[in-house]
Structure 1
Amino acid sequence: MAKVSAVNKNLKRERLVAKYAAKREALKAAAKDPNLSFDEQFEARLKLAALPRNGAKVRLRNRCQVNGRPRGYHRKFKMSRVSLRHLASHGYLPGVVKSSW
């Protein structure tokens, strides 16, 4: 089980990313737009830099939805390898079967 504070910090980041996503995208587009003047592009970059750092999507950490574990994360199931194996072997994940060859 992960530290509750780490899980809560990541949830707070998710909320900030959702809040600033549209504004951040618009400012990024303005900063890269070749039709705008250099000063307008620079102004857009300054506004982008003024946004909260935790509002950037790259700051999110993939964590297991079951126990919050940050490592061994499977994107398809949104859980760690430990939880995935446990739930799959007990038959709680529909369509997941143990392979053998």
Structure 2
Amino acid sequence: MNLNPGMADEYRRRHDQIWPELAQALRDAGVVDYRIFLDEPSNALFAVLTHEAVHGLNALPGTALMQRWWHYMHDIMPSHPDNSPVSMDLLPMFSLTPD
């Protein structure tokens, strides 16, 4: 994902005040850890999400709650016509996992 130029502070503010019902929906869907990092020179966002083996993440985009969040965020980041953020999957290159 990316941010529009100059929107880093607003993005952080909105996530610092994440809606409690959205945070709960993520947990209920099986998210156990979710972190988003910003590369300031490029405005690129990098998200790392860890979820339970059995999860309900695929259903979240179709919920009214997620649609409202995307609408709330679309003015500060590139978005598709349905307001979902423009994103791309990254190719895994290395992983160090516990033995």
Give the number of the structure with larger relative contact order, counting CA–CA contacts within 8 Å between residues 6 or more apart. Answer: 2
More helix by share: 1
Using the size of structure 1 for normalisation, the TM-score is 0.29
More strand by share: 2
